[in-house]
């Protein structure tokens, strides 16, 4: 069955801002709505009720995408928690259905949204031209999903050294400025590639 619409639940407004620019590039004619929460804890606390509500009315041609930062959580445990919430609400998730219809897919931004920016440095340079072109060649930034010491902090430091955001990284502004330049198929962040793959799968269904 063709996917007609995607409901997207995210943990904070900067992720919403980024996805509003990125999703049309991947989903094409498939419509979407994005619902941001104020933090990860709020999303996780309200997710069971939200999913239970969806289970009572969601159409077979709709999908639900939940995007959460891993932060310092155990990746496997966090994913298992999200999967359990979906199944407890009576919705089928993409995991384990083996080609059968599903409604919910959970995706983690390994580290944070900023790892996706490190994965598409040309987009960052188009938004903020004074940042060095050599950042992706430096060993500590080479794997966007494995930047030590906090990804958004590293991203903020790079931009501040180039003269941007001297008062602190404005995450929503950065998302709105960078994401329109991002090319989904060219991002070197593994977590972004996994997200892009499932979105592309929806449009191909």
Concatenating the DSSP letter of every residue in 68-117 gives EE-TTS-HHHHHHHHHHHHHHTTPPBSTT-TTS---EEEEEESS-HHHHH
The rounded distance, in Å, linking the Cα atoms of 159 and 33 is: 31
Question: The tokens of 65 are what?
Answer: 């995408």
Pairing label, strands 62-69, 104-109: parallel
Could you list the pLDDT tens digit for every one of the 205 residues in the chain?
789 999 999 999 999 999 999 999 999 999 999 999 999 999 999 999 999 999 999 999 999 999 998 777 888 899 999 999 999 999 999 987 777 889 999 988 766 889 999 999 999 999 999 999 999 999 999 999 999 888 999 999 999 999 999 999 999 999 999 999 999 999 999 989 999 999 998 888 6
The rounded distance, in Å, linking the Cα atoms of 64 and 78 is: 17
pTM: 0.91
Closest CA to 176 of 42, 28, 16: 16
End-to-end CA, the chain: 6
Question: What element of type H or E holds 175?
Answer: helix 171-178
């Amino acid at each position: 069955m063709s996917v007609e619409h995607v409901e997207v639940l995210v943990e904070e407004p900067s992720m919403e801002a980024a996805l509003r620019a990125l999703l049309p590039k991947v989903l094409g004619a498939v419509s979407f709505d994005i619902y941001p929460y104020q933090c990860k804890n709020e999303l996780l606390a309200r997710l069971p009720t939200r999913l239970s509500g969806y289970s009572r009315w969601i159409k077979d041609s709709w999908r639900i995408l939940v995007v959460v930062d891993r932060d310092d959580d155990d990746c496997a445990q966090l994913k298992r928690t999200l999967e359990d919430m979906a199944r407890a609400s009576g919705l089928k998730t993409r995991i384990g259905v083996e080609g059968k219809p599903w409604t919910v897919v959970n995706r983690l931004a390994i580290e944070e949204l900023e790892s996706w920016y490190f994965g598409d440095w040309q987009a960052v340079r188009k938004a903020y031209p004074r940042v060095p072109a050599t950042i992706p060649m430096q060993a500590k930034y080479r794997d966007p999903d494995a930047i030590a010491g906090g990804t958004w902090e590293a991203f903020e430091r790079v931009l501040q050294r180039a003269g941007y955001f001297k008062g602190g990284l404005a995450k929503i502004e950065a998302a709105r400025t960078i994401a329109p330049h991002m090319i989904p198929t060219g991002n070197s962040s593994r977590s972004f590639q996994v997200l892009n793959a499932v979105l592309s799968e929806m449009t191909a269904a």
